[in-house]
A and B are shown apart, each in its own frame.
Chain A
Amino acid sequence: MSESFNGPWCCVKALVLPVLESWKAKGSSLERMNNSKNQMDSDIQKKIDHEIRMRDGACKLLAACSQKDQALEASKSLQTCSTRIMAYMSELQRMKEAQVMKKVPRRSSDAGPMDDRRPCKGKVAISDLRIPLMWKDTEYFKNKGELHRCAVFCLLQLGGEIFDTDMVIVDRTLTDICFDNTIVFSEANPGFEMRVELYSCCSEDDYSAGNTPRKLASKLSSSLGRSAGKKLRAAMDPGPCSPVSNGGATPLLLPVPSVPGPKYHLLAHTTMSLTHIQDSFRTHDLTISGNEECSYWLPLYGSMCCRLAAQPHCMTQQMMSGCLKVKQLGGDPQSWTKVYGVLKGTSLFCYHRQEDVEANVEPAFTIAINKETRIRASEKDPQSKVQNICISNQYGGEEVTHTLTTDSRDDTHRWMEAFWQHFYDMSQWKQCCDDLMKIELPSPRKPTPVTPKQGSLYHEMVIESSDDLSSTVSDILARRMRELELRSQLGTSPTWMSSLFEENNPKGAGRPRPCTSRFSGHSPCTPHRPPRSPASPHRCPQLSLLSSDASLTSDSDSHCSTSPCSHRHGWPDPSSNFSLLSSSSPSRMRPRTLSLDAKLSTLRGRGFRGGGTFQCSCQPPSSSPLTPISSRSPLSQRSTQTTLSCSSSTSSNSSSNSEGSHSPESSEGAPFSRPSPARRSLRNLRARLDPRNWLQSQV
């Protein structure tokens, strides 16, 4: 026990030891335990052993894996296993304490009125967890290519059950953290407390840093490099992972596995109870721990939306069933109806025969048993030997009373007991007993679809081709785009792109022209992407380039007017937009290409330099897509801004250009190309359209 443990393990060790010491002192008397207690002990012991084995596996996996995703998943399993072990051990200890307490004779003053009646248990389910984020636009603008990402997951604990959700990678492009899992806890008391904890871990290269502040971590990550980091990790030994077990009793020593690798930290937590249960979505407050300096920090909005539902057993199971004789009050005293009654949920179903219950035949009639029902035992009927049970309900304005009787006093007693229990359950479960809430059982886990981490628009884009030449070209283009994305350092512009802009390029005539045209066909309408979709920072400059090309075409009036107008609001998703556009103007490709080249050459001829303003021929729609943007995530506008302050003809400018030779004072933010001086004019244009510059216009 000379090893130093940190955190929770210390506490557990401290708790477990004194109890076991006192237990040993009691000697053999305590060994004579009930069989049931033994059974429960060994159950928990088995669970603990199982979790310890899982934890060992996770440690080993963590030490062995090299990929970030695997490491994050393994670390998450490790965290879950550790929490479960803690919970089981404290459960075990509580049971042992209870046994110890039992042996101590209780004084009469200690024993208060024992409430024997216990409410029924129920299923509690939480689903559709959504935690909104609140990014600052300054964070967004400071982006220099690094995208701070965190891996998050939720740990939910109710009673002795602990579940974790799937892990989600969160970065600046997401507005909410969504967990799709439905978690069902099967045995919950009405007085339950469900603890929801959000853990997050910074997902960057250097793992050995642990909880370093973000700035330092980013400096370290840039200085250490991947190979150095790996060496570091190998150098650190994984540490002892197997616990020492102490015969059949709980393992005393649980050394903390000090594995290198991503460690999750608690970011926020909240506790839910019966009052939060509702059959619809509700928002709950989160308590956030941690601050901006932590590497695992995420700007949480401070609340959590989810659907918390419960199905108490009294609503879903048959609480009581048996043969009855029912008579309506005020009717013929001899007209008893023999029925088979089933008490379930908010009704007493009376079937003609017992077999009807399984056969799903409709009951003969149904008596409501809810909070407004009144049940009492009536005086002894002179004709029968047993008491009757009277059930009164208010149907509309009328009071209707049914009288039940059974064959024996015991039966009557049991029915009364069942009714009292039912009322008690309903009073404990409160709003859950008004109506049966639906709980979707989690379906067997489907393998999660593999999505590219930094999804590029070009991956999603469907380039519909109308003829063979264009299809091969589009294939080539798509492949090249993918290559570009994979390089993820768009500093070196690929050679084929430079060929796009050479005028008088007879060799490339067949190829680049259709390419340009196709993209120019798409570009003016860089879609207003819904805030959810991932937008890699590298994507945007490409689009801005392309949009600038299209804007230069003078015969683009009709084109401009159709595409932006038709895609004004609510772009469904990028892929469908692009496919729409490509299919809508296949015929116009060729002619426009020529004019594009012509335009480019005229521009060159004028020695055009960016800095003047252009008059946009497609004015009205241009600014509207910018407006319906949620205030919480200004960053999602990023991709839309590329086009819209753009413009088509340059004729009005030459005059204004003459006095203002103003190049934009701001830095060339476009990260993706270092074009040759010959293309400076286009580069200036691109720079103008890049939202990360600060445009200036002459008026």
Chain B
Amino acid sequence: MSNFMPGQPLVAVVQRIEIKKLRQGENLILGFSIGGGIDQDPGQNPFSDDKADKGIYVTRITPGGPADAANLRMGDKIMQVNGYDMTMMTHDQARKRLTQKKEDVVRLLVTRKSLEEAVKTSMGGCYPRQ
């Protein structure tokens, strides 16, 4: 992920992922776990490149779950959920944003290292890095 400076505009290559929540009894689940947040210690994030990045990352995908089916990968950084920015959220706020009872579908914008690499190689050397 490119250098993340809180408060500064960020350029990233993102992928849209649409996950339909699965109803399990009373709950709607997405089938993955998140980690991170502005109230968490970013140095312990195993997925981030920049250890100061306090963003929300996907830490586990339940195999066979809705997120797995939608092609979400472990290590993805969630940038937006249904249009709401996730780069400056506490852990709990992020969790709530994903588990709104009224929403059946969440549309995520995620970024991952491999995406950037793919774009870079395909565009030769002129990919505008932030």
- Closest chain A residue, CB of each to CB of B98: A699
Chain A residue numbers with a CB within 8 Å of B98 are 699
Chain B residue numbers with a CB within 8 Å of A637 are 39
Chain B residue numbers with a CB within 8 Å of A613 are 95
Chain A residue numbers with a CB within 8 Å of B91 are 645, 695, 697
Mask: chain B, 31-68; 1 = CB below 8 Å from A; 0 = not: 01111110111111110000010000001101000000
Which segment, of B9-17, B21-29, B115-123, faces chain A?
B21-29
Whether A82 sits at the interface, judged by CB under 8 Å, is no
Interface residues of B (CB under 8 A from A): 24-27, 29-30, 32-37, 39-46, 52, 59-60, 62, 90-93, 95-96, 98-99
Mask: chain A, 343-364; 1 = CB below 8 Å from B; 0 = not: 0000000000000000000000
Q: A623-B92, A699-B98 are in contact. Are A660 and B62 (CB under 8 A)?
A: yes
The count of chain A contact residues (Cβ–Cβ below 8 Å) is: 31
Q: A666-B44, A699-B32 are in contact. Are A655 and B24 (CB under 8 A)?
A: yes
Contact B92 A691, beta carbon cutoff 8 Å? no
Chain B residue numbers with a CB within 8 Å of A660 are 33, 60, 62
Q: Which of A657-699 contact B (CB under 8 A)?
A: 659-660, 662, 665-667, 691-699
Q: A138-B52, A652-B27, A655-B27 are in contact. Are A696 and B33 (CB under 8 A)?
A: yes
Tally the A-B contacts, defined by beta carbons under 8 Å: 84
**With the chains together, A138 CA to B50 CA distance in Å?**
12
Chain A residue numbers with a CB within 8 Å of B35 are 665, 694-697
**Of listed B33, B40, B92, B96, residue having the most chain A CB within 10 A:** B92
Q: What is the minimal beta-carbon distance from B50 to any residue of chain A, in angstroms?
A: 12
Whether A644 sits at the interface, judged by CB under 8 Å, is yes
Chain B residue numbers with a CB within 8 Å of A698 are 29, 32-33
- Closest chain B residue, CB of each to CB of A658: B24
Which of the residues A138, A616, A626, A659 comes within 8 Å of B39, measured between beta carbons?
Answer: A626
Chain A residue numbers with a CB within 8 Å of B41 are 141, 666, 691-694
Chain B residue numbers with a CB within 8 Å of A138 are 43, 52
Whether A648 sits at the interface, judged by CB under 8 Å, is no
**With the chains together, A696 CA to B57 CA distance in Å?**
9
Chain A residue numbers with a CB within 8 Å of B25 are 655
Whether A656 sits at the interface, judged by CB under 8 Å, is yes
Interface residues of A (CB under 8 A from B): 138, 141-142, 613, 616, 619, 622-623, 626, 637, 641, 644-645, 652, 655-656, 659-660, 662, 665-667, 691-699
24 contacts between A and B (CB under 8 A): A138-B52, A619-B96, A622-B92, A641-B39, A644-B90, A644-B92, A645-B39, A645-B91, A645-B92, A652-B26, A655-B25, A659-B62, A666-B41, A691-B39, A691-B40, A693-B41, A693-B44, A695-B91, A696-B59, A696-B60, A697-B33, A697-B34, A697-B35, A698-B33
Q: A655-B25, A699-B32, A699-B33 are in contact. Are A694 and B95 (CB under 8 A)?
A: no
Contact A645 B34, beta carbon cutoff 8 Å? no
Chain A residue numbers with a CB within 8 Å of B37 are 695
**What are the nearest 3 A-B pairs in CB distance?**
A694-B44, A696-B35, A645-B92
Chain B residue numbers with a CB within 8 Å of A616 are 92
Which of the residues A141, A622, A656 comes within 8 Å of B27, measured between beta carbons?
Answer: A656
**With the chains together, A607 CA to B52 CA distance in Å?**
36
**With the chains together, A656 CA to B65 CA distance in Å?**
13
Besides the contacts A659-B62, A666-B41, what 14 more A-B pairs have beta carbons closer than 8 Å?
A138-B43, A616-B92, A626-B90, A644-B92, A645-B90, A652-B27, A655-B24, A656-B27, A693-B40, A694-B35, A694-B44, A695-B37, A697-B95, A699-B95
**With the chains together, A659 CA to B46 CA distance in Å?**
22
Q: What is the minimal beta-carbon distance from A641 to any residue of chain B, in angstroms?
A: 5
Contact B29 A696, beta carbon cutoff 8 Å? no
Chain A residue numbers with a CB within 8 Å of B39 are 626, 637, 641, 644-645, 691
Chain B residue numbers with a CB within 8 Å of A694 are 35-36, 40-42, 44-45
**With the chains together, A659 CA to B63 CA distance in Å?**
11
Contact A695 B29, beta carbon cutoff 8 Å? no
Q: What is the minimal beta-carbon distance from A548 to any residue of chain B, in angstroms?
A: 15
Q: What is the minimal beta-carbon distance from A662 to any residue of chain B, in angstroms?
A: 6
**With the chains together, A498 CA to B22 CA distance in Å?**
42
Contact A662 B27, beta carbon cutoff 8 Å? no
**With the chains together, A665 CA to B74 CA distance in Å?**
14
**With the chains together, A521 CA to B46 CA distance in Å?**
37
**With the chains together, A694 CA to B62 CA distance in Å?**
20
Contact B60 A699, beta carbon cutoff 8 Å? no
